[in-house]
Amino acid sequence: MKAVIFDMDGVLIDSEPLYYEVEHSIYDELGVQIEDERYAQYVGSSAYKMYSDLKEEFHFEADIEELIQKTRERIEEIIEIPGKLKLIEGVIPLLQWCKEKEYKTAIASSSHDEMIQKVVDIVDIRQYFDTLVSGDFVKKSKPNPDIFLYAAKKLEVKPQNCIVIEDSSNGVKAANRAGMKCIGFQSPNTPPQNLEIADQVVVHMTEIINILK
């Protein structure tokens, strides 16, 4: 392997509970009730995909782009509260190890580009990555492979020489469809995900170092 591609939410940062809180507050405003099992299906995908599906089903009047903007604004308010945004345990040793071993590294996240830029600076991890790839840069979100293929292109590494670290079913499917190896991470606060098609599944970041050795 020559490159390691990281998802962001639930892999690098423990942010899934923040998204859950914000998005469910918006559901309440729309008068929409979503079971947790249904909500889990959208983890790793884009807000546009989620709100489009819900609008088609529940026929609410709210504009999708306005809902996406409202979600972003509320998330940004929360993450700017000192100490609110936390790294997943074991992330820094893993990132340091990848740098020492001269792996090329990228973040490939369905999140908005501005959000990714803010997050990496808040938790001070920008220096560990060669490129940051947002869902804004591709037409189709996970589980489509576009974002990982784009990241590989930016890194100038062939897909078969990349390994992806993902916590969502959508992300694992996307990596698989991109022709990349994938490590599924059972993130502590991500809604339950089916990671069985990942090449390996881990429960702690330090396990990944042993896999990559």
Q: Compute how many other C-beta atoms are within 10 angstroms of the C-beta atom of residue 203.
A: 10
Q: Mark whether 101 and 199 lie in a shared domain.
A: yes
Give 129's pLDDT tier (boundaries 50, 70, 90). Answer: very high
Mean pLDDT of 119-132: 98
CA distance linking residue 38 with residue 179, whole number of Å: 27
Q: Mark whether 64 and 113 lie in a shared domain.
A: no
Give 166's pLDDT tier (boundaries 50, 70, 90). Answer: very high
Q: Mark whether 9 and 36 lie in a shared domain.
A: no
Q: Mark whether 59 and 111 lie in a shared domain.
A: no
Q: Mark whether 192 and 131 lie in a shared domain.
A: yes
What is the percent of the chain where pLDDT is above 90?
97
Q: Compute how many other C-beta atoms are within 10 angstroms of the C-beta atom of residue 10.
A: 27
Task: Give the tens place of pLDDT for each residue, 82-124.
Answer: 999 999 999 999 999 999 999 999 999 999 999 999 999 999 9
Domain count, the chain: 2
Question: In the prediction, which pLDDT does 16 show?
Answer: 87
Give the CATH number, domain containing residue 188: 3.40.50.1000
The chain-wide mean pLDDT, for the chain, equals 96
Last residue of some domain: 27, 54, 79?
79
CA distance linking residue 175 with residue 123, whole number of Å: 25
Q: Mark whether 50 and 103 lie in a shared domain.
A: no
Write down the pTM of the prediction: 0.92
Which domain range does residue 26 map to?
Answer: 16-79
Task: Give the tens place of pLDDT for each residue, 167-178.
Answer: 999 999 999 999
Question: In the prediction, which pLDDT does 186 show?
Answer: 97
Question: Biggest alpha carbon distance in the chain?
Answer: 52
